[in-house]
Amino acid sequence: MGKVKFRYYPNVYEDNVIAHVEGVCQCCGRTVNEYIESMYAVEDVDCICLQCVSDGSAAAKFHGSFIEDADPVSDPEKQDELFHRTPGYLSWQGEYWLACCDDYCKYMGYVGIKELEELGCKDEVLEEYVQRDTLIPIEDLEKYLHINGYMRGYLFQCLHCGKYHLWVDMD
């Protein structure tokens, strides 16, 4: 079986969200070498193969989701795809998924100020972020936002207009 693709998490295999050890999927019962170790459900779930995430069977079986919270979008099918068929990224406070152009953005990975500068989007992304979260001033973001620091950025990119967006989390 080939690699499972996720529209809103295209680089899932390069990120640290997948366990790369042998386990038995709690949804389909297959022995797998790549799986997701958690989801939001009443039952303890620690091994869900990527196929069962992608096709929605794990979310249906365990009456759960993989994403804690997200911006609103108008299309219920997009909401279903994000919450029930997309793995969540690893964060300290619980993942929050950003939207743009009435669709969820693709998650790009962890970023700090250095990475935003390299992408050439630092000023625009920070200004947009402080409009969304007025508790953290730009000066604090510029001083403390580091890819491996106690204040970490999560970078998203719109699937339609290509604009970058930032979510910030602290340990």
* Total domain count, the chain: 2
Same domain, 7 and 65: yes
Residue 159 domain flag: yes
Chain-centre distance of CA 136, in angstroms?
21
How high is the pLDDT of residue 1? Answer: 58
CA triplet 5, 126, 142: central angle to 5 degrees? 110
Question: 64 pLDDT band (50/70/90 cuts)?
Answer: very high
Question: Measuring CA to CA, which residue among 28, 98, 96 is closest to residue 56?
Answer: 28
Same domain, 105 and 78: no
Residue 79 lies in domain: 1-87
Write the pLDDT tens digit of every residue in 79-100. 999 999 999 999 989 899 999 9
Pairing relationship of beta strands 96-97 and 69-70 according to DSSP bridges: parallel
Q: Which is nearest to 86 in space by CA: 145, 168, 165, 17? A: 17
H and E: helices and strands count for the chain: 6, 12
Q: What is the pTM of this model?
A: 0.95
- Predicted confidence (pLDDT) at residue 171 exceeds the cutoff of 90: no
Q: Is residue 93 part of a domain?
A: no
Identify residue 109 by its one-letter amino acid code: G
